[in-house]
A and B are shown apart, each in its own frame.
Chain A
Amino acid sequence: MAQFAALLRKDNQPVRYLVVDDSVFARKNLIKMIEMFGGEVAGEAGDGLTAIAEFNRTKPDVVLMDITMPQMEGIEAVERIVRQHADARIVMVSSVGYQENILAALQKGAKHFVQKPVKPEVLYEILRYVLSDDPNAVGAPAVLAGEQRS
């Protein structure tokens, strides 16, 4: 199993994630990775509407958001969350990764996109980038406090 330096907030606390996917398996898989990265699950949701309510309740640092979901799809949920919380960090996680979908999500305010099946090392690098709050920090050491986990 790959080892990852813990991704921490600037106050050295674990990053808190909201995991949104209608598939229980997909959520469990993402939660497993979040734990590998030293993070904490603030909440889970199985559709866009619940995601908005959970975002307001838990105020997570990062949202991992599926696109195709019942009731309300991920891209609409992104738009509604970002309208109220312009600084929300949302990463789209979907098996459908064609350009129109990615562009639509980014235009609505998502910060990044990762295609399923998710590779831990890919998600880790995306989270490092998204959490850095600095678009110029791509590929640079994380701005966040990080330490090698044993």
Chain B
Amino acid sequence: MRMELIQPFINAADAVFAESLQGPTSIGDLSMEEEAYRRKGIAALIAIKGDIEGRVILDLSPEVAVKVAGKLTGAEVAESEQVIRETVCELANMVIGNSVTLLNDQGFHFKVFPPEIHVNDEGFAGTQDTEAMVLSIETSCGPIFLNIAMHYLHRRRAERASVPALD
């Protein structure tokens, strides 16, 4: 796992949650996982393809999602599946957008796919290249979980190695 690829996502999530939820945040335990991802609440998965490839899963309980929705709209929001889905997607979009900005300005180019709501209890196992980093961020609305699996595209990695080829 390359921390330089993961750090922008953690920094962006921390900043986005602090700003949009108007409260302090703290990063909880970090762990590396290679096993299939287990959903904790309702999750949005965003895939990235290009110079770097992988996926980010943003995961939160329905109760936390409703509190987040209230903060985002500035009004009390009744719980519904639509509200919860919209909330998770909006948070995921903001986190990914801000992360992508940081990585793009470092010279990485890639395509970001729209968030997909992840409803299976498990799936998306990590691989040797894409073991996932899992962390929770404590926010004023409750914990929000991030699961990040990211790696350099092989071509890009080969360029970085800059070993001259022998005929």
Interface residues of A (CB under 8 A from B): 23-26, 28-29, 32, 68, 94-100, 115-117, 119
Chain B residues with CB under 8 A of A99 = 104-105
Picked from A24, A32, A95, A119, the residue with its CB within 8 Å of the CB of B94 is: A95
- Least distance between B9 CB and chain A CB atoms (Å): 13
Residues of chain B lying within 8 A (CB to CB) of residue A116: 93-94, 97-98
Given known pairs A94-B97, A96-B97, A117-B20, the reply for A25 and B105 (CB within 8 Å) is no
B90 x A96 contact (CB < 8 A)? no
| Contacting residues, chain B, for A119 (C-beta < 8 A) | 19
CA distance A115 to B102 in the complex (A): 12
Inter-chain contact B90/A26, CB cutoff 8 Å: yes
What is the CA–CA distance of A68 and B98 in the complex, to the nearest angstrom?
13
In the complex, B137 has a CB within 8 A of chain A: no
A-B contact list, 13 entries, CB within 8 Å: A23-B93, A25-B69, A28-B72, A28-B74, A32-B73, A68-B93, A68-B97, A95-B96, A95-B98, A98-B100, A100-B104, A116-B93, A119-B19
Given the contacts A32-B74, A100-B104, A117-B16, A25 and B90 also touching, CB distance less than 8 Å: yes
Task: Report the minimum CB–CB distance from A26 to chain B (whole Å).
Answer: 6
Q: How far, in whole Å, are A76 and B69 apart by their CA atoms in the complex?
A: 30
B12's closest neighbor in chain A, by CB? Answer: A95
User: Is B130 at the interface (CB under 8 A from chain A)?
Assistant: no
Taking the nearest CB of chain A, how far is it from the CB of B50, in angstroms? 13
Please, which residue of chain B has its CB at the minimum distance from the CB of A24?
Answer: B86
- Residue of A29, A68, A95, A98 near B72 (CB, 8 A) is A29
Taking A29-B74, A68-B97 as known contacts, 5 extra A-B pairs with beta carbons closer than 8 A to each other, sorted by chain A number, are: A28-B73, A96-B100, A100-B104, A116-B98, A119-B19
Known contacts A23-B89, A28-B73, A29-B73: does B100 contact A117 (CB below 8 Å)?
Answer: no
**Would you give the shortest CB distance from B105 to chain A, in whole angstroms?**
5
Q: Does B87 contact A (CB under 8 A)?
A: yes
- Taking CB as reference atom, which chain B residue is nearest A102? B101
Separation in Å of the B42 CB from the closest CB of chain A? 15
Which residues of chain B from 44 to 84 have any CB-CB distance to chain A below 8 Å in the complex?
A: 69, 72-75
Nearest CB on B from A98, distance (A): 4
Residues in A with CB closer than 8 Å to B75 are: 28
Query: Which residue of A has the minimal Cβ distance to B68?
Result: A25
Q: Which residues on the B side are within 8 Å of A29 (C-beta)? A: 72-74
| Pairwise interchain contact A115-B74, C-beta atoms closer than 8 A | no
Residues in A neighbouring B90, C-beta threshold 8 A: 23, 25-26
Question: Would you call B73 and A97 a contact (CB within 8 A)?
Answer: no
Partner of A25, one of B19, B87, B98, B104: B87
Of A25, A96, A98, A115, the most chain B CB neighbours within 10 A belong to A25
Assuming A24-B86, A95-B94, A95-B96, is B101 touching A115 (CB within 8 A)?
Answer: yes
Quote the shortest CB–CB distance from B72 to chain A (angstroms): 5
Q: Once the chains bind, are A97 and B72 in contact (CB under 8 Å)?
A: no
B73 and A25 contact, CB distance less than 8 A: yes
